[in-house]
């Protein structure tokens, strides 16, 4: 009894002491300094060992979600970084994870729906000002990419000039401000072929958005396919034969139809909810495709709509396990490591 009494008195005094300690400016500063180090050190989310890795930097489709970013997948092959699509808020994710954006080799845009490139200006900015990018931002995309990026570059001229006038040529060099846009004209042949990394594109079916592209990334003995926006596509099936990981876009018509029912009958959004269903893939069809292609692991992304809770996640993947067991419903921060010396597939979540 006596011991308990002393223990509680000790706890009480200890918490009072802590309370006053936390009021001290010096103590607050030392705590912040400790934490701040972690905000500026290079990213440690990728493994030390040689691997092909993929990080979902945006998992949602255009439909609203309070926290998720729009479509974005970062690939790290050996020590090289590539980005596939860069939708709204995805660059903020990449910066929070301290990805060295000036080290990007290429950016690939699957098609010219704005949810796939709306953060390209931020990506340009955060790989340019005060960074070590040594050329314009290299962006590969379908026909139309030069026109879109040319107009973005024109609209950004004032910002480029302001940054340069304020920070100088070393910090914001005008000669590398802007984009080096290239049109992908050939399919199923490497666009990038260096250091045992091969990246190729193939057409998918997101009609009437033509062309729309999917991508295949190979590094040593490991491989990843990214579907882009598409209905069930034989080209995705062909490209995905025996790959380690397939990132496939996915929708839940069950949830979309619930949304449709609750909207007022005169709401224009009802038209949109019906229309999107004819150019995206039902989650269960992505699972069937993965099984048919003998994919090792399926990651669903570009979620339409992106689930907001456990219940909606469950509805989104209804019946999938019966078709194909090895799947992940992605979040912003779903990350996959494929070590090059094995067949192992490691899937994790980072915050």
**Which residues would be at the binding site for Zn ion (CB under 5 A)?**
113, 115, 229
With beta carbons less than 8 A apart as the criterion, state whether 211 and 203 touch: yes
Instruction: Report, in Å, the least distance between residue 62 CB and Zn ion.
Output: 6
Mapping DSSP to helix (H, G, I), strand (E, B) and coil, where does residue 70 land?
Answer: strand
Strands 104-108 and 137-141: parallel
- Of the pair 115, 122, the CB lying nearest Zn ion is at 115
Give min distance, CB of 302 to Zn ion, in A.
Answer: 6
Q: In the bound complex, what is the minimum distance in angstroms from residue 113's beta carbon to Zn ion? A: 4
Smallest separation, CB 342 to Zn ion (Å) = 34
Q: How far apart are CA 274 and CA 254, in angstroms?
A: 12
Cβ proximity to Zn ion: between 148 and 177 the closer is: 148
DSSP class of residue 307 equals: P
Specify whether the CB–CB gap between 153 and 125 falls below 8 A.
no
- Give whichever of 249 and 323 is closer to Zn ion, judged by the CB atom: 249
CB-nearer residue toward Zn ion: 63 or 243: 63
Nearer to Zn ion, 122 or 229 (CB): 229
Which residue blocks in 269-319 are alpha helix, DSSP H? Answer: 269-275, 283-292, 310-316
100 preceded by a cis bond (ω within 30 of 0): no
Which CB, 88 or 115, lies closer to Zn ion?
115
Minimum distance between the CB of residue 228 and Zn ion, rounded to whole angstroms?
Answer: 8
Distance CA 77, CA 54 (A): 9
Q: Which long-range contacts (CB under 8 A, 24 or more apart) does 28-36 make?
A: none
Q: Please, which residue, 35 or 208, has the CB nearer to Zn ion?
A: 208
Q: What is the sign of the dihedral through the CA atoms of 318, 322, 323 and 328?
A: positive
Best CA proximity match to 350, nearest among 333, 338, 337: 333
Smallest separation (angstroms) from Zn ion to the CB of 206:
5
Q: How far is the CB of 280 from Zn ion (least distance, A)?
A: 8
287 membership: H or E segment, kind and range: helix 283-292
User: Cβ of residue 230: shortest distance to Zn ion, in angstroms?
Assistant: 9
Q: What are phi and psi of 192, to 5 degrees?
A: -125, 130
Residue carrying the six token digits 């340069």: 164
Other C-beta atoms closer than 10 Å to the C-beta of 171 total 13
Nearer to Zn ion, 142 or 178 (CB): 142
């Amino acid at each position: 009894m006596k011991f308990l009494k002393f223990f509680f008195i000790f706890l009480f005094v200890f918490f009072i002491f802590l309370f006053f300690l936390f009021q001290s400016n010096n103590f607050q500063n030392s705590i912040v300094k400790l934490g701040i180090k972690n905000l500026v050190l290079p990213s440690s989310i990728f493994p030390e060992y040689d691997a092909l890795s993929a990080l979902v930097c945006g998992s949602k489709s255009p439909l609203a979600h309070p926290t998720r970013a729009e479509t974005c997948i970062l690939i790290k092959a050996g020590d090289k970084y590539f980005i596939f699509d860069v939708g709204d808020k995805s660059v903020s994710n990449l910066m929070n994870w301290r990805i060295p954006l000036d080290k990007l080799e290429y950016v690939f845009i699957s098609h010219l729906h704005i949810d796939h490139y709306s953060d390209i200006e931020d990506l340009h900015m955060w790989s340019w000002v005060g960074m070590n990018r040594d050329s314009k931002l290299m962006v590969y995309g379908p026909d139309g990419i030069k026109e879109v990026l040319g107009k973005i570059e024109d609209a950004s001229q004032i910002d480029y000039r302001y940054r340069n006038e304020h920070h100088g040529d070393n910090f914001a060099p005008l000669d590398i401000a802007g984009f080096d846009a290239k049109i992908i004209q050939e399919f199923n042949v490497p666009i990038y072929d260096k250091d045992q990394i091969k990246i190729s594109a193939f057409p998918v079916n997101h009609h009437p958005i033509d062309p729309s592209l999917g991508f295949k990334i190979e590094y040593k003995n490991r491989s990843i396919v990214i579907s882009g926006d598409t209905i069930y596509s034989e080209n995705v099936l062909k490209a995905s034969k025996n790959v380690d990981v397939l990132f496939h876009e996915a929708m839940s018509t069950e949830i979309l139809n619930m949304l449709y029912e609750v909207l007022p009958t005169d709401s224009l959004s009802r038209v949109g909810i019906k229309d999107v269903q004819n150019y995206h893939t039902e989650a269960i069809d992505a699972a069937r495709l993965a099984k048919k292609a003998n994919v090792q692991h399926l990651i669903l992304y570009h979620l339409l709509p992106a689930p907001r809770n456990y219940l909606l996640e469950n509805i989104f993947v209804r019946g999938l396990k019966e078709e194909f067991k090895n799947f992940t419903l992605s979040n912003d921060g779903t990350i996959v490591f494929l070590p090059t010396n094995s067949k192992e597939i490691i899937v994790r979540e980072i915050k």
